[in-house]
Amino acid sequence: MSQRKGRGNVLMFYSLVIGLFLFGTLLGNQTVAVISEMVPMERLHRIVIDPGHGGEDGGAVSCTGKNESMFNLQISLRLNDLLHLLGYDTVMIRTTDTSVYTAGQTIAQKKVSDLKQRVRIVDRTYNPILVSIHQNTFPEGKYSGAQVFYASSAGSQELAKQLQDALVSALKPGSNRRAKQGSGIYLLDKINAPGVLVECGFLSNPQEEALLSTPDYQKKLCCVISASLSQFLASA
C-alpha cells in the first residue's frame, strides 16, 4: 500500500469516527453497531490513558489563567469514553483533579513519586499502550498545533508518526510538525511498552486555547487519537 493511499484510508476512517462520535447520540445503539463493524480492532492491548499533571501540580497555565491539568483531564475522559465505545479496554491513571504520588513531603518529592507511580501503572498493565495527554506552552503566543513525542520502546515511533500525520491532516493542514523522540521525558524514558505523549496544542496561543476549551474540538482530538490507535494496531 502506498503512503498516500494509507494516509487516505486513515483520513476516511477518522472522518467517519468523528461524525459518529459527534452526532452518535442521535443514532443510539445503531452508532455502536456501525463503529464496531468498521473498526479494525485488536483487543489484546489495554490503552493506558495518562492525563498529565493533576492536583497541586497544575502544569502550564493558559493565557486566561486555566491550569493545563484541567484540559488534560477533560480530553482524557472523552478519549476514554470513545475508546470504550470502540470496544477497547482502557486504564485511566487519574479520573479526578488529583496527583497519584504515594510518598514525599515536599512538592519536588511528591512530583518524583507521582511520575514513578505512573510508570508503575503502565508496567503493571497487561500488554499496555500508553497515551499521555498534555498541553504545550511558549513565551510567545504565535505558536500552535499538536506535537507528538514517542518512547524508545518498540512500536512507539510508528504510532507517533501515524498520530502526528493524522493530527496535522485533520486539524492543522500545512503544518510541518513531525513526531519527535521524547528523550528526557521521564515517563517515556522509563516505560517498556509502546508509548506516546501528545501535546494537544499551545495554551499560550489565545486562539488555540479557545479551541481546546470547547467540547467539539476536544472530541475531534479524541477521534484522531482513537483512529490512529486503531490503524496502528491493525497494522501491527
| Entry pTM | 0.85
Amino acid found at 58? G
DSSP summary character for residue 26: G
Domain locations in the chain as residue ranges: 3-235
Tell me the pLDDT tens digit for each residue of 164-198: 999 999 999 989 999 999 999 999 999 999 999 99
What kind of architecture, by CATH, is found in domain 3-235? Answer: 3-Layer(aba) Sandwich (3.40)
| Alpha-carbon Rg for the chain in angstroms | 17
The winner for highest mean pLDDT among 15-19, 29-33, 90-94, 232-236 is 90-94
Which residues share a beta bridge with 147?
Answer: 199
How far apart are alpha carbons 64 and 14 in whole angstroms? 31
Give the number of other Cβ atoms within 10 Å of residue 118's Cβ. 24
Q: Each residue of 97-153: pLDDT tens digit?
A: 999 999 999 999 999 999 999 999 999 999 999 999 999 999 999 999 999 999 999
